[in-house]
Amino acid sequence: NVIAPDVLVNKYGADSVRAYIMFFARWEMGAPWDSQGIEGSVRWIRRVWTLFTDPTPPITASDETKKNLRRKVYQTLRRVTRNFEQFEFNTIVSSLMELMNEMYKAREAGAAGTDEWKEAQDIYLRMMAPVTPHIAEELWLQLGKPYSVHTQQWPTVDEAAAKEDVIELPVQINGKVRDRVVVPAEATEDEIKSAALASEAVQKFLDGKEPKKVIVANRRLVSIVV
C-alpha cells in the first residue's frame, strides 16, 4: 500500500518530509511507515534556520573555541562523506543534528562572525543540501554565496583540523572499568600504559601489587590484569 506524502508536505514542507524519510530508518532495511516522528526533523530544520538567520552577536570567542569548532566541523564532514558513500542516510541526519548543537555552543561562546564560523556555515550547508535542498539553497543565497549550493564542490576534509589533541581511554582492571585517563593524541603505547598505572584509582585497586599484564587495545582501552 502506498501512502501519499501530500498531506505531510502541505503541513511541514517537502524538505521536512525528505529529511524524515532519510532519518527514520536505514534505507536498506526499511521499517513500517510512521509519520509521528517527523516533528524531530521539523525542529532540526527550524533550529538550523534560526542559527543561520539570527543577528550575529559580538565576537568574543577564544582561540580554543574556534579550534574546537573547526575540529567538530571536519570530523562531521569526514563522517558524513563516508555515510553518503555507504548510503547510511539516517546517520547523516543525526550527524548534522549533532554538529548544529555544537555550532549553537560555539555561537554562545562568541564564535559567530569569525572566519571559522563562516567556514562552518559554508560546509554545513553543502552537507545539508542533499538532505534538505530547498532550505539549504535559500540559506546559501542569504549568506551571499554564488548560485547555487547544488553546483558547488563537495568540501575536502582538513585532517589536521579534524585531529583530536587528546584522547580518553577507559582503564580496566581484571575486566572491570575502574578509571579513565586522558593522554595526548600522539602518546605512545608506553606513555599510555604509564598514565594508566599512575592513576590514583588504579593504584588503589592494585593495592601495591604488580600487574601481570598491561594491554593497550587499539588505543581505545587499557586492560590491566592483576
pLDDT digits (tens, 9 = 90+) for 104-146: 999 999 999 999 999 999 999 999 999 999 999 999 999 999 9
Q: Evaluate if residue 1 carries a pLDDT over 60.
A: no
Which has the higher per-residue pLDDT, 24 or 213? 213
Q: Is the dihedral of CA 41, 42, 47, 53 positive or negative?
A: positive
Pick the closest to residue 96 from 81, 110, 85, 109 (CA basis).
81
How many Å apart are CA 121 and CA 128, to the nearest integer? 10
Give residue 221's pLDDT: 92
Distance separating alpha carbons of residues 222 and 179, to the nearest angstrom: 10
The pLDDT score that the predictor gives to residue 72 is: 97
pTM tops 0.95: no
**Dihedral of CA 190/192/198/203: which sign?**
negative
Q: Where does 63-196 show beta strands of DSSP type E? A: 166-173, 176-184
pLDDT > 80? residue 33: no
Average pLDDT, stretch 138-158?
96
Nearest partner of 52 among 120, 115, 133, judged by Cα: 120
Q: Look-up: residue for cell 549550493? A: 149
For the ranges 23-37, 59-73, 159-173, 182-196, the one whose mean pLDDT is highest: 59-73
